[in-house]
Structure 1
């Protein structure tokens, strides 16, 4: 319950920030061009609002339905019937030039993109970056059953994906996610793996799209349990297990299976202790459990040589912009898969329930802001869709006006907006129902 509460609070706080900045973009551009803003609301307020206060010509408030927010701009919808008590024509939206109207409508998208850049800039300046250059992962990759189903094997060294040389190890899962061709070095043999739609469906046809790929690492002991076989035979922390009754070097992914095969058996275990090679004769129990925890790749920075980067404020701005672009590009490439039914990428489309699950169960500001920045550029991208009632729909109408040289009929735009609102509402309801279906049935 505590985990659910923390995730829910993070989600509410995150979307509040995103909605506020989005509506602030419309508000700022409208005020800049002296267009009257009647209402500025965080969240929707059908029937009643939690808070509202009129300051100048604008009513500011907080609604109770956290599915969005809105800025009501005078003259944007022709429902005022030329009421002179409301405002003069010069303060109305449709009295502005096409360029000004385009900027006002684009304000939310612009501010969401700026917010993403600012957050990534701040994170890079404060925390920097820690990465493993792919050439430092000298033992190749370790993957799970899913990775093996799409053609990968433990020990593969990934050379390129879609013709792109991968610089850092943490980029691999995302690039595979959107890629089509993987070039690997498998025990000295260069191989080409094709990710067709049927293989993509293996990735997308799950509740989570995370593709577990880690650097393959040696078996180094980090902890020994009391009264265990390891303690009985005097194994030590930092011992590297080299082999179990064979001459083969064992990696993290092999050790459990190798020990299980030796249950109820007596065998030689070879270890490296501070550069000294030694062997111990061990009798394994019926469970095949040695009684140790092994180090993860994050514990082995003396082997993998992590690249730590610290940025100046000016470098952070540049890299913040580039990270925003990288996230947006990957989101667009993922979205393309949604329209290929055979990839089953549509199963990963989700509502607020899916978003909430991505937040950590313990509050972590770095993860929170990183995820908020990602959602911000995603919100900007979604609002570019030329669907009436979304910003992209209004932008589409304005561009048509600019091309034909005259304004479109306001009644026509109003009707299209109503239809667009109904379409978006239907889509949102369908996604919520699908999300509930995934949680309780799928």
Structure 2
């Protein structure tokens, strides 16, 4: 329950930041061009609001329905029943009285601010922490794959040479390149093999209940920590022990250890280890499941084996690389969106609502992960709002662009009716996604 609460709070805070920044973008441009903003709300407020206060011409408030937020700009929707005759004659604060380019900037303000927020967050994280890369050429033992990796044709020990006939400089980028790629060229024990990653294979990657690393660098089996009350603790294994053999079978890599342990359930085994240069052997009785009770080191912990590349950035460099990171996130989202329309990939199963989003946040509060996910969601929000669907920012942008091209305003009645229709369609889609997500999570 605590983990659910922590995830929910992180999600709510992240959404609140994204909504406020998005609406603030509209608000700032409206203020610059002297357009009146009647309301500025975090979350929607049908029937009632949790809080509201009027300052100047604008009512600021918090709604009770956390599905977004809005700013109500005077003149966007022609409903002047509550406007006095004196105000009707005053047009300089009206949205429709402004030039097309000014209206375009006001509508685009939310998208612009979300893009800038993403760049700002990524830049701050890069300035603070820098980046650590594992060059693909330094993955000296090849890769280790799980069952998903095997199903798309990869094997333990494969060395990734090309993806879509291009070299991938850093291993960090290999998994996503495979997901969105079409071919993978590997060196398999000296033999060059080209694997096709078609839509039927991609469905194994997209149709996952949990996100996992289907490939990682192959590493020696070095113990990270010992679980309490386990066979490993009982028989004296220690952290940093390197496992060399079980009985008479030599072990070079962690995937080989996992395969061997599963063979010796409910049996006595002789385990050979290297402890700080000393050769030791331990007699251990395994439980029926063949569980030793150890956690092995991750490749990120083995800098004495792998040569990592650490990049630290100056203030200006962090802005440049933060912008590039935001662009990479956008490219990944576009690639994913393309796969959604290929039914055989089953990428549509990864579409989710707030329930799926909450699962992405860690069960223990971590500010770095929180800000990384918020920056990613910010670009996602900007991308979605670019869709030329009435009631989204992209719909208004489309009407204004038509006006700028034809030099003639689109009929206001058409805009209003299409906006209402677009709102109904989007609401129905959101309801269907929430129902689908509840089905995935709870059923």
1:258 is the counterpart of 2:260:
yes
Q: Structure 2: which 5+ residue stretches go unaligned?
A: none
In structure 1, what is the equivalent of residue 91 of structure 2? 89
> Residue 35 of structure 1 contacts residue 93 of structure 1 at CA under 8 Å; is this kept in 2?
yes
**Structure-2 residue corresponding to 1:387:** 389
| Bigger shift: residues 284-293 or 200-209 | 284-293
What TM-score do the two structures reach when normalised by structure 2? 0.92
Partner in structure 2 of residue 321 of structure 1: 323
- Give the match for residue 79 of structure 2: 79
- SS of 2:132's equivalent? strand
Cα distance in 2 for partners of 1:203, 1:413 equals 41
| Shift, 1:169, TM fit | 1.9
1:400 Cα offset (Å): 0.8
Q: Structure 1 pair 135/54, CA: closer, same or farther in 2 (3 Å)?
A: same
Contact 1:386 1:395 in 2 (8 A): yes
TM (normalized to structure 1)? Answer: 0.93
Count, aligned residues: 440
Question: Is the CA contact (8 Å cut-off) linking 1:241 and 1:271 kept in structure 2?
Answer: yes
Question: Offset at 1:292?
Answer: 4.4
Query: Aligned in 2, Cα 1:10/1:225: closer, same or farther, shift over 3 Å?
Result: closer
Distance 1:115 1:154, change over 3 A: same
**Contact persistence 1:264–1:283 (CA under 8 A):** no
Aligned partners of 1:146 and 1:211 also within 8 Å: no
Alignment of structure 1 residues 60-71 onto 2, 5 Å: 60-71=60-71
Separation (CA, whole Å) in 2 of partners of 1:286 and 1:363: 35
Moved more, 53-62 or 320-329: 53-62
**In terms of mean alpha carbon deviation, does 37-46 or 169-178 score higher?**
169-178
Q: How does 1:325-404 map to 2 (within 5 A)?
A: 325-404=327-406
Q: Deviation at 1:244?
A: 3.2
Query: Which of 310, 313, 331 is equivalent to 1:311?
Result: 313
Which residue does the alignment assign to 1:131? 133
Residue in 1 aligned with 2:304?
302
Question: C-alpha distance in 2, partners of 1:9/1:97?
Answer: 42
Equivalences for residues 30-109 of structure 1 within 5 A: 30-80=30-80, 83-86=84-87, 88-109=90-111
Q: Distance in 1 between matches of 2:115 and 2:7?
A: 24
Are the counterparts in 1 of residues 123 and 319 from structure 2 also a CA contact under 8 Å? yes
Residue 114 of structure 1 corresponds to 116
Greater Cα shift, 244-253 or 148-157: 244-253
What is the rounded CA distance, in whole Å, between the counterparts of 1:137 and 1:406 in structure 2? 60
Q: What is the SS of the residue equivalent to 2:153?
A: coil
Given the alignment of the two structures, is residue 208 of structure 1 paired with residue 210 of structure 2, yes or no? yes
1:190 to 189, 192, 196: 192
**Counterpart Cα distance in 2 of 1:234 and 1:247:** 21
Among residues 428, 432, 435, which one is paired with 1:433 in the alignment? Answer: 435
Residues 397 and 159 (structure 1 numbering): CA distance in 2 closer, same or farther, change over 3 Å? same
Residue 170 of structure 1, CA deviation: 2.1
Please state whether the residue corresponding to 1:329 is helix, strand or coil.
helix
Q: Aligned-pair distance for 1:274?
A: 4.0
Could you tell me how far apart the structure 2 residues matched to 1:79 and 1:226 are? 69
Find the counterpart in structure 2 of residue 143 from structure 1.
Answer: 145
Please report how far the alpha carbon of residue 307 of structure 1 lies from its aligned counterpart in structure 2 after TM superposition: 2.4
Q: Output the CA distance in 2 between the equivalents of 1:104 and 1:227.
A: 63
Q: 1:119: Cα distance to partner? A: 0.5
What residue ranges of structure 1 are gaps of 5+ in the alignment? none
Change (3 A) 1:267 1:342: closer
Deviations 1:282-304 (CA, angstroms, capped at 9, x unpaired):
47556455554432223322111
Contact 1:38 1:73 in 2 (8 A): yes
8 Å Cα contact 1:7/1:359 also seen in 2? yes
